[in-house]
Amino acid sequence: MKKVVKFGGSSLASAEQFVKVGNIIHEDEDRKFVVPSAPGKRFDEDTKVTDMLYACYALAERDHSFNAEMAQIEKRYQEIIDGLKIDLDLSTEFDKIIDNFKKKEGPNYAASRGEYLNGIIMAKYLGYEFVDPVEAIRFNEAGVFDAEMTQKLLSKRLENVERAVIPGFYGAMEDGKVVTFSRGGSDITGSIVAKAIQADVYENWTDVSGFLIADPHIIDNPESIDTITYGELRELSYMGATVLHEDAIFPVRKEGIPINIRNTNRPDDEGTWIVGHTCKKAKYTITGIAGKKGFASVSIEKDMMNSEVGFGRKVLQVFEEYDISFEHMPSGIDTLSVMVHQSEFADKEQNILSGINKAVSPDSIEIQSDLALIAVVGRCMKSQRGTAARIFAALSHANVNVRMIDQGSSEQNIIIGVENEDFETAIKAVYTIFVDTRI
């Protein structure tokens, strides 16, 4: 068996955390490929090393002195090295980094050093080979991740490697220029490595024991999810459930490699299993609830719209011209609404309205702002009678006015639009009706 184990920033924030991680790795022979993040927060008001690096580079870019800030970063690593009592000197690495900051290598390069240095420490601590992702995780000239080339290069690079540490979060273009994924992107690296070595499991170690049914900021002590499918997870993470980067599913999904979310601070917890298919029924009809605030809808009305071929395309083309992606598009016979992110839409609003007027000459256009979208997700909803009825009854009893309803064609989610101010109440009502009543 081969396992890829990715450890998040809080799991590697101090020497003490490194020791926990070392124990977890040594406990299981199969944990052969390790993907570390940069040191994260040691306590609530602490700063992640990635953020320290961005701030430090911002000074370098403006030709300001950054000695004090860099010294703080060096101190974070030195404390880990001292705490682990390993024989490692990072001073030449820091000289090189300082030099490259002065040469203005770019913010991507700067941020990537967090994972790079943590990878060097981890490899030394474990006695594993260090593999720099610059060699094998490839981005194209436009800075977009090149999955195909990466698979080729990385599987070849790791072919005869027994055990290795591969830092998360970054790769490089063909010319060696470093590119990072978006924030939290070490999750993606873990998934890419799992695919490249055809791992049996991708373990993602963090500071919670898996996914929760709903956001703990809204629901007190929500129950956790033991098994979830990639499809369900995709819906939930797209709608704001954090824990795993939303793009981390893609590399392993096709390969059918399961992801196991685990807690470094509670290693005996089973965590959440993310799988392709499962015969396991979820404990409740719904698997999870997630949502986001800050949407606007543009509702268009025109008599006989239904029979006007190309109407929808013409409307969407206007949004495309202004580079606005749409989230949902519920339609009636003579009406059509386009839901968009309010923050993206606001600046271009008047241009888009006049574009729609020109393109389809509607009878009326109405804009609603400050909407929230809530996704109620569950693979078991499809075969369960009355799920929608229960959701909407619960919302009505909680005095929540529903502004939009959309059921995904996979029938594993129901999206509900409500006013921003009803967001928390709506989530509580749905959670209560399914989880607290245990059905």
Cross-strand bridge partners of residue 262? 205
| Least Cβ distance, residue 188 to ligand ASP (angstroms) | 8
| Least Cβ distance, residue 172 to ligand ASP (angstroms) | 16
Q: CB atoms < 10 A from the CB of 364, how many?
A: 9
Q: Distance between CA 22 and CA 14 in Å, rounded? A: 12
* DSSP percent split of the chain into helix, strand, coil, nearest 5: 40, 20, 35
| Least Cβ distance, residue 182 to ligand ASP (angstroms) | 8
Residue 17 or 50 having the CB closest to ligand ASP: 50
Residue number with the smallest Cβ distance to ligand ASP: 186
Residue 206 or 287 having the CB closest to ligand ASP: 206
CA 350 to the chain's CA centroid: 32
| Least Cβ distance, residue 183 to ligand ASP (angstroms) | 4
Q: Distance between CA 169 and CA 139 in Å, rounded? A: 12
Residue 38 or 427 having the CB closest to ligand ASP: 38
Q: Count Cα neighbours of 142 within 13 Å in the Cβ-side half-sphere.
A: 3
Residue 12 or 289 having the CB closest to ligand ASP: 12
Angle between helices 311-321 and 349-360 (to 10 degrees): 150
Residue 97 or 430 having the CB closest to ligand ASP: 97
Nearest to 191 by CA among 254, 269, 271: 254
| Least Cβ distance, residue 384 to ligand ASP (angstroms) | 36
**Which residues contribute to the site for ligand ASP (CB under 6 A)?**
9, 37-38, 48, 50, 114, 168-169, 183-187
Residue 93 or 247 having the CB closest to ligand ASP: 247
| Least Cβ distance, residue 344 to ligand ASP (angstroms) | 22
Count how many residues are written for the chain.
Answer: 439
Please, which residues have CB within 8 angstroms of residue 37's CB and are 6 or more apart in sequence?
6, 7, 8, 9, 11, 12, 114, 115, 118, 168, 169, 186
